[in-house]
Amino acid sequence: MKILAIHNFHRKGSASGDDQVFKSETALLESHGHHVIRYSVTNDEFDNSNIFGKIAKILGMTWSFKNYNEVMKLVKVEQPDVVHVHTFFPLLSPSILYAAKRSGTKVVATLHDTRFVCPCATSLRGTELCNLCGDGHYLRMCKYGCFKGSRVQSLLVALNFKYHRIRKTFYKQIDKYICLNENQMKLLREIGFDSDKLIKKYNFVPDAEANLKTQKVTGIPDRYVVFYGRIGEEKGIRVLMKVWEQLPDIPLVVMGGGPLEIEFREWAEQHDNVFFLGYTQHDKCLTIVKGGEFVVFPSIWYEGCSMVEIESESLGNALIATDLGFSVEAIENGYNGYKVKLGDVNGFAAQIRQLWLNPDECQRMGQNARTDYEEKYMPEDNYRQLISIYESLR
């Protein structure tokens, strides 16, 4: 089978989940003998453009003639069996969907976030969950400066999505939507998406447990709890800080980078039991995660299918996470972890302390987490699901 895979990468050095999924999924397809043509752009292109180039790319967010033409050419020359779109925002633009459909090719889209409901993709207004723009009245974004805290940028994004809402782009130009959890499917059905086009498929990660050994790091204790990932508001980093104010006797190891990195580093330096390692190379990061007692994940937004969570399970680590998005169905209380209500600082602190004081329970739940990974998130199972989705459209 020949697949044209399309993706808008985040900036260089980003550890974004959708970037990781695009790379691992295309590699998996190739390992099974399929012909994968990749077409991608990166947000670095915007950063490296001069003022005129940046203006052109901003205008192209609604309709990129350049990417429309390139995808049209690729489809005509390569004649793929399916076009699989991951992320199109901001540089690729929805024009690529039209290029594929007008060439007569079936289009599959993996929805890594809630962008078709919330143009900002986070379903957050500040730190509060919000899906009001599912009704198509996007101009309210300007009132609240939803996109990057800017009313001007929010206006540009609102007009972009309003145009495509009027044209029903996201309803008509995609043949199958791969959703990552039940909550995504529910949100899309509520705003009129065809249920027959929605299918759920989790992400996968390679078997990290297979040959991985725990790595001891100088300066951190033998027993510790782990948080790793983006150091950003949506990942609940400020919730984490409030939680650990109540846990001065439990060591916390944190790895990652992001917009709140400086603030978090300054906070961590004031707490003897918090060890902030900053950005850590992926393989080394996983060896440190494996050595932890369990992983804490206080995210405040709808995680699609968190790579952190399924990686942690592959390593045999239990999870304590927010009862929201993917975690709702990924974690069974008392089996492979615990779920805590959104933003419940006291609840997180109590559950972390309870599990920390019970090493046998940590071990048991970690073993269950590994079993859960083997049942749901292995590459070969994911491959079969993906091919089944492609073949259903032929």
The enclosing domain of 80 has a CATH number of 3.40.50.2000
Task: Mention every residue, 6+ apart, whose C-beta is less than 8 A from residue 371.
Answer: 336
Burial class of 146 by CB neighbour count within 10 A (0 to 12, 13 to 18, 19+): buried
Q: What is the pLDDT of residue 16?
A: 82
Burial bucket for residue 383 (CB in 10 Å: 0-12, 13-18, 19+): middle
The pair of three-digit structure tokens given for residue 218, joined into one six-digit string? 């100088």
> What is the model's pLDDT at position 17?
87
> Is residue 371, in this structure, part of any structural domain at all?
yes
Minimal CA–CA distance to 156: which of 76, 36, 57?
A: 57
Residue 226 confidence (pLDDT): 98
Whole-prediction pTM: 0.93
Same structural domain, 279 and 301: yes
The C-alpha angle with vertex 346 and arms to 342 and 348, in degrees rounded to 5, equals 60
* Same domain (yes/no): 42, 179: yes
- Answer for the pair 63, 160: CB distance below 8 angstroms, yes or no: no
pLDDT at residue 48, as a whole number:
85
302 and 314 in a single domain? The answer is yes
How far apart CA 232 and CA 241 sit, in angstroms, is 12
163 found inside a domain: no
Whether residues 238 and 387 fall in one domain: no
Q: Is residue 169 part of a domain?
A: no
Residue 255 and residue 238 in one domain: yes
Q: Clarify whether residues 188 and 297 are in a common domain.
A: no
Same domain, 247 and 334: yes
Both 303 and 353 in one domain: the answer is: yes
Tokens of 4: 């044209």
Phi, psi angle pair for 286, to nearest 5°: -65, -35
Return phi, psi of residue 322, to 5°: -70, 140
Question: Which residues 6+ apart lie within 8 Å of 334 measured at CB?
Answer: 365
Q: Looking at the 3D structure of the chain, how many domains does it have? A: 2
For residues 141 and 120, the answer to whether their CB atoms sit within 8 Å is yes
Q: What is the pLDDT along the chain (394 residues), one digit of tens a residue?
A: 999 999 999 877 666 889 999 999 999 999 999 999 999 999 988 888 898 888 888 889 999 999 999 999 999 999 999 999 999 999 999 999 999 999 999 999 999 999 999 999 999 998 999 999 999 999 999 999 999 899 999 999 999 999 999 999 999 999 999 999 999 999 999 999 999 999 999 999 988 777 787 777 888 999 999 999 999 999 999 999 999 999 999 999 999 999 999 999 999 999 999 999 999 998 999 999 999 999 999 999 999 999 999 999 999 999 999 999 999 999 999 999 999 999 999 999 999 999 999 999 999 999 999 999 999 999 999 999 999 999 999 8
* In a domain? residue 134: no
User: Do 386 and 370 share a structural domain?
Assistant: no
* Angle between helices 65-78 and 95-102 in degrees, nearest 10: 30
Q: Is the peptide bond before 90 cis (omega within 30 degrees of 0)?
A: yes
Task: Check whether residue 271 and residue 370 sit in a common domain.
Answer: yes
- Per DSSP, what are the bridge partners of residue 36? 3
- 45 & 190 share domain: yes
> What is the residue range of 346's domain?
225-376
Question: Is 262 part of any domain?
Answer: yes
Chain centroid, CA 225 distance in Å = 22
pLDDT of residue 186: 97
